[in-house]
Chain A
Amino acid sequence: MLSSVFTKSLWDQRRSLVGWIVAVTAVGVLYAAFYPIINTPDMAAAMDAFPPAMRDAMGFTDMTSAAGYLGSTTFGLLGPVLIIVMGAALGGSAIAGDEEGGRLDLTLAHPVSRWLVLVERFAALIVAMLLTALVLWLALLAISGPAQLGELSVTNLAAASLHLAVFGIFFGALALAVGAATGSRALAFGVLAVVAIGAFFGNNLGPTVQGLEWLRDISPFHYYSGSEPLRNGVALIDLTVLAVAALVLVGLGGLRFDRRDIAV
């Protein structure tokens, strides 16, 4: 585990990574476990009473099918929120956190290039996200019987989990890139919060306002869940859009990181 920047980054994060995995999985599983209680005719009637525009804005669409319920809860709200915060924490600490803590000097004084450090830390972030999604998927499979989620296929659950991971990788890349370009974790968090909130409302409200439909097309949320992976499986094009956007962000951050002074 001590042979490269990549493995060492994962090794150093192992405790916090376990924490994130437990948090994301626990929230996902708890939500899912409530499905048998929510899935009643009364609830369906209650949901129908909401104006459709409001249901869309809140992301609650169809609460009476397993795909609709899980897509509105575990994968619709708290899952993405947690994974964004996880992306902020991991991405922000990868370069900016080390720099603010005064630890980056020592690493960069070694025979490793700044690009290598950036890319290997990004790779560690990708692995962390995929691992989190993998555990979430396994946990949902484990409870799918008692939680009456049997109608969801194993592959579609995997697809939704993979979408969540790539979504997290995008936001992690954003925090990593801003942190690498500026050396400021606070700025990385700030930019990420603005983008995340903008993306959420752009995706949910954009289509309801005339002339703002395009907002949805630039929202990462759209590429995360617009294709409804719980029903339709993996949307390769959407994932590619998120992945390419993440790579571009890291590349831009790296260009600046390679040129600038490292703060003491």
Chain B
Amino acid sequence: MSAVIQADGLRKMYGKRRGLDGLDLEVREGEVYGFLGPNGAGKTTTIRILLDLIRPSGGSATVFGIEPRAGGTTLRRRLGYLPGDFTVLGGQTGRELLVYLANLRGGVAFERIAALAERFELDLSVRVGSLSKGNRQKLGVVQAFMHQPELLVLDEPTIGLDPIIQQRFLELLAETHAAGQTVFMSSHILGEVQQSADRVGIVRDGKLVALKDVDDLRRQAARKIEIHFAGPVPAEAFSGIDGLSDVEVADGVLRCRLAGQADQLVKAAARFTVETLTVEEPDLEDLFFSYYGESEPQHAE
């Protein structure tokens, strides 16, 4: 698969202040790439270089193999962009704004705009200035997705969205992914990207410090498991199982944490009558927190 976004030793200085300090990045065609890092790490700087809003001080960045400056309008036609701080004039209605932005791209069928707006429960006849912050962010999401671009560049897309709308956004992201579009989204919260991203890169102090496959991470991450049995079970039945920790057996209830394959545990439990079984999705956040403190690059692949 070819790289949709490629950065090699990308540097950006704002006067004496460091923006990026040799960032390496590769986003493959058709993947959802979560670009994670604390505030001020260089996420927005990277994104604004890709959109040719700012120019790099050193290194190189390409989108679809073309430098953003050289690609100009032809390149930007293939992108959808949601700025980290989505601000537009307050005097216009949502409809005016979206139709205008669509026209800058050569037009988008209004049914498509209306369908997206409906999906996000967004009233397009209301003046932007009287919309809540969350509703304004929805406008930003709609304008980024409406023309079905080959590449979506989203800077903290779910900021200000309530949990239900966040879920709708993730559904839209999944459809986008299924349609083969590439997504590059930044966030400072892992939970936000772990559901939808294929890979996650962590940026810190202007450098990429870790790159992980989300499926691998999930496999490695310890899940909390609780099994209720019909009667009491001996604790020894669950000793010596690979990846099992924090085992606690009492009154016919097993509580434990499992990392990796579930096979041995399932077979051990199958010897008894299982009434209920709960598995909590792993929280990758804990796992990732360690990387914020590390400085050596760690590549999973």
Contact = CB atoms under 8 A, between A and B. Distances in A.
Nearest to A110: B104
Contacts of A264: 44, 48, 85
A102 interface: yes
Contacts, number: 66
Contacts of B73: 111-113
Interface stretch (B20-28, B49-57, B229-237, B269-277): B49-57
B85 A102 contact: yes
Interface of A is mostly: loop
A110 B104 CA distance: 7
Contact of B55 (A2, A106, A113, A261): A261
Contact of A101 (B48, B87, B100): B87
Nearest to A2: B100
Nearest to A15: B91
Interface in A103-136: 103, 105-113
A180 to B, nearest CB: 15
B3 interface: no
Interface stretch (B31-39, B75-83, B238-246): B75-83
B53 A105 contact: yes
B261 interface: no
Contacts of A107: 104
Interface stretch (A4-12, A19-27, A59-67, A189-197): A4-12
Contacts of A261: 53-55
A105 B48 contact: yes
Contacts of A108: 51-53
B54 A111 contact: no
Contacts of B89: 12, 103
B2 to A, nearest CB: 22
B284 interface: no
A262 interface: yes
B171 to A, nearest CB: 24
Given A2-B103, A113-B73, A12 B87 contact: no
Contact of A109 (B72, B83, B92, B103): B83
A106 B54 contact: no
Contacts of A112: 73, 104
Interface string B49-76: 0011111000000000000000011101
Given A103-B88, A111-B74, A262-B54, 17 more contacts: A2-B96, A2-B103, A3-B100, A3-B103, A5-B104, A8-B100, A12-B91, A102-B85, A106-B88, A106-B143, A108-B51, A111-B73, A111-B77, A111-B105, A113-B72, A261-B54, A264-B44
Q: Which 10 interchain pairs have the tightest Cβ spacing?
A: A261-B54, A111-B73, A111-B77, A109-B81, A2-B100, A102-B87, A110-B104, A262-B53, A109-B51, A111-B76
29 contacts: A2-B96, A2-B99, A2-B103, A3-B100, A12-B89, A12-B92, A15-B91, A101-B87, A103-B87, A103-B88, A105-B48, A105-B53, A105-B83, A106-B81, A106-B86, A106-B88, A106-B143, A109-B76, A109-B79, A109-B83, A110-B76, A110-B105, A111-B105, A113-B72, A113-B73, A261-B55, A262-B48, A262-B53, A264-B44
